[in-house]
Amino acid sequence: MKKLNKLIIGLLMLSVIAQSCKKSFIATNTSPNKLSNTLPQYLFAGATADLNSSRSQIEARYRFMIFMQYIVPSGSNALLGGNFDNPSTTTGTDAQVSYYNDYYSGVGLGMNRIIAQIDAMPAAQKATYADIRSICEVLDTYAAWRTVDIFGAMPYTQAFNPTQYPLPAYDYDYTLYKTFDAKLKSAATELQSQAKNQVNLGVQDFFYGGDTPSWLAFANTLRIKIAQRYEKRDAANLAAVLVDIKSNFSGTLISSNAQNFGIHNSKTDNDDTDDIDGILNIYDASYAFVEFLKSTNDPRLPMLVRQNDMGKNSAIFKTVLAGNDPQALTFIGQDTIQPYKGRYYGKHAFPASENDPAYGLTGGNRFITFNVGSGTQALDYLSVVQGCYFVKGGGFVGNINSGVEGPHLHTDEVWNTGFDPSTVKMQQMWTTYGETCFMMAEIANGNGGTALGKSAAAWYNAGVQASFDQYSAQATAYGIPADLIPASLGDYLTRYPYDGTLQRIYSQAWVHYMVQPEDAYALWKRTGYPQLVNYRAGQPTTAGNIGDGTGTAYIENIWDGTQNLLIPRRMAFQISTGGSGPGSGATLNSTNFFNAITAMQTKDASYGASGTDTKGRIWWDQ
């Protein structure tokens, strides 16, 4: 990846980017004035292969998972608190995403290059690339939107036009949301036109395999997703988008898990390495997440959270039992062999809980060490999330370089015979059918009970079912033991039906978003759910508390013993200091960069004291 301090050079030159060695075959000059002979469909493959699958971006997803309390760092108070903002400071932390670099040096550059090439074709040839051009518009819009969605500003309308705009000005989320909608509508109109003699992306499309109807469904779904993000600022726009999609596109949205929008990575991507397998070795599952799933007897629990070592299907557990140590036998007899629930415990997310006896083992270290003969054996008491959705095998190989061979390396789960993590082809999910259903259920809830012809209850039921089906299919594909994958939802929707409340919808969306944690983060900013609550030792699980069994999810206030730390509201807007990490600009275009900060502060006082004051809010985040 290019260094971010050369970001603007990427803006000024339409030069190729080869994101990995797999794309080296496509490395040709792509100036609009000197177009390559490489066909657009192959350029598309080169620009998108393994998109957003760098290890740094997988790790960035873990930070969103920390914000939204799917996972909690193991270890010291500093690790627990260091991911959150101190209310008294004017700077803060963020998720370290590299969306700017990805866009200007990767997918945005690539899509604009292809669009320019198609536009320069003779009319007859250009007509055969109408679908591919529209798909490039959709993907470019998605990549730009997700960038401005968490930073608030980016060069867009003047980007990739070095002749006219050598130093491009920044655009802002409060104007771009309409720009994005217009582009998506135009692309969807073309994709719906059923034009003949179209060149098909086919296997060059790592998202939908060249299926144009799925790109149309995603374009319409993304229009609603963006409009809903700005609903508090512009409710009329959301209403207009819904009417337009119903009237002009027959209400076509993502309608099955087969149309989930996400990248299918190459077979060598997401291999277990010492950094990304931190999902296993560094993070515990959170108390709030595990207790909610347990309290509702959710059939997705074993597909989302791994069992601890406290069960007779664990070889090292049986080793401890065979040792007959009185202390071990007393502990095991008191705490473990509860069916279902005793194998799943999460860690508190707030620093004040750490090693405080009042919080028991859910505030302490993952491991419990027992005497076994003349030696000892460590067992995991705290669970981890099923990491196979992020890393092949979920950490199956272990942290090889450090020699860690801890109890969680699947010794407690009998893996399918012949399972080989190296054969797994990963898919990163970015917009899903389950998400679409929960989004539409929310809209129906506030729209007299229906949206695009379906009731809120129907959308809710479809969302829960889609979530179960998505995780079940991926769990099977990624090697989770068959006996941990329930055959069906069972009576879950009877026990936790749509009850007319937004809280019920939001709680289910939060569970579903474990593999889309950036969307859980946006949901929380937009709605305030899951709500933050104080958790104190001995607090009963009555209504309004974590694990109360009501079907409403809560997360914990980040109490450090003196004050509640804050979840960041946006990402830091700052000029990069180099490398391939986060950054919102480069020194060459610094005047426009600092003008952008001033403009966002002027537009909305809640933006914050500086670009790095991540307690501040982007305009849409009221």
pLDDT digits (tens, 9 = 90+) for 171-207: 999 999 999 999 999 999 999 997 789 999 999 999 9
**pLDDT greater than 90 at residue 245:** yes
State how far Cα 550 lies from the chain centre. 26
Q: Whole-angstrom Cα distance, residue 199 to residue 86?
A: 54
CA torsion sign for 611, 614, 616, 618 is positive
With a pLDDT cut of 70, the percent of the chain lying above it is: 86
Query: 520 in helix, strand or coil?
Result: helix
Q: Whole-angstrom Cα distance, residue 128 to residue 126?
A: 5
Predicted pLDDT at 538: 66
The CA-CA-CA angle for residues 551, 66, 80, to 5°, reads 115
Q: Could you tell me if 153 and 176 are in contact, meaning their C-beta atoms sit under 8 angstroms apart?
A: no
DSSP state of 198: P
The CA-CA-CA angle for residues 231, 232, 236, to 5°, reads 50
**pLDDT greater than 50 at residue 574:** yes
Give all domains of the chain, ordered by start, each with its CATH number: 4-220+570-607 (1.25.40)
Q: Could you tell me if 191 and 215 are in contact, meaning their C-beta atoms sit under 8 angstroms apart?
A: yes
CA torsion sign for 616, 620, 621, 622 is positive
Q: How many CA atoms lie within 13 A of 98 on its CB side?
A: 27
182: number of Cβ within 10 Å = 11
Q: Could you tell me if 565 and 85 are in contact, meaning their C-beta atoms sit under 8 angstroms apart?
A: yes
Q: Which has the higher per-residue pLDDT, 292 or 419?
A: 292
Q: Whole-angstrom Cα distance, residue 511 to residue 439?
A: 14
Cα radius of gyration (the chain): 25
87 cis-preceded (ω within 30 degrees of 0): no
Predicted pLDDT at 416: 54
Q: Whole-angstrom Cα distance, residue 95 to residue 82?
A: 12
Q: Which has the higher per-residue pLDDT, 462 or 80?
A: 462
DSSP state of 368: E
pLDDT tens-digit series, residues 465-522: 999 999 999 999 998 888 889 999 999 999 999 999 999 999 999 999 999 999 999 9
Predicted pLDDT at 315: 75
DSSP helix, strand, coil percent of the chain (3-state; round to 5): 50, 10, 45
Amino acid in the structure at residue 362: T
**pLDDT greater than 80 at residue 404:** no
Structure tokens at 195: 């034009």
DSSP per position, 555-591: EE-EE-SSSEEB--SS-------SSSS--S--GGGHH
pLDDT tens-digit series, residues 20-31: 333 332 232 234
Q: Which has the higher per-residue pLDDT, 519 or 354?
A: 519
Banded pLDDT at 53 (limits 50, 70, 90):
low
3-state per-residue secondary structure call for 149-190: HHHCEECCCCCCCCCCCCCCCCEEHHHHHHHHHHHHHHHHHH
Query: 200 in helix, strand or coil?
Result: coil
CA-based end-to-end distance of the chain: 35
Q: Whole-angstrom Cα distance, residue 567 to residue 541?
A: 24
Predicted pLDDT at 413: 46
497: number of Cβ within 10 Å = 14
Structure tokens at 247: 């009237």
| Short-list 385, 390, 383, CA closest to 272 | 390
Q: Which has the higher per-residue pLDDT, 149 or 369?
A: 149
DSSP per position, 382-435: S--B-GGGTSGGGSSS--TTTT---TTTTTTS-PPTT--GGG---EEEEE-HHH
The CA-CA-CA angle for residues 554, 533, 285, to 5°, reads 50
Q: Could you tell me if 463 and 512 are in contact, meaning their C-beta atoms sit under 8 angstroms apart?
A: yes
Predicted pLDDT at 318: 79
160-164 LR contacts (CB < 8 Å, sep 24+): 160/11, 160/14, 160/108, 160/109, 160/112, 162/11, 162/12, 162/13, 162/14
3-state per-residue secondary structure call for 291-321: HHHHHCCCCCHHHHECCCCCCCCCHHHHHHH
| Short-list 467, 569, 566, 556, CA closest to 526 | 569
Structure tokens at 510: 């939060």
217-231, 322-336, 550-564: least confidently modelled range: 322-336
Structure tokens at 269: 């991507």
How would you classify the pairing of strands 261-264 and 427-431? antiparallel
| Short-list 518, 19, 100, 59, CA closest to 270 | 59
Banded pLDDT at 540 (limits 50, 70, 90):
low
Highest mean pLDDT among 143-157, 264-278, 543-557: 143-157
With a pLDDT cut of 90, the percent of the chain lying above it is: 64
180: number of Cβ within 10 Å = 22
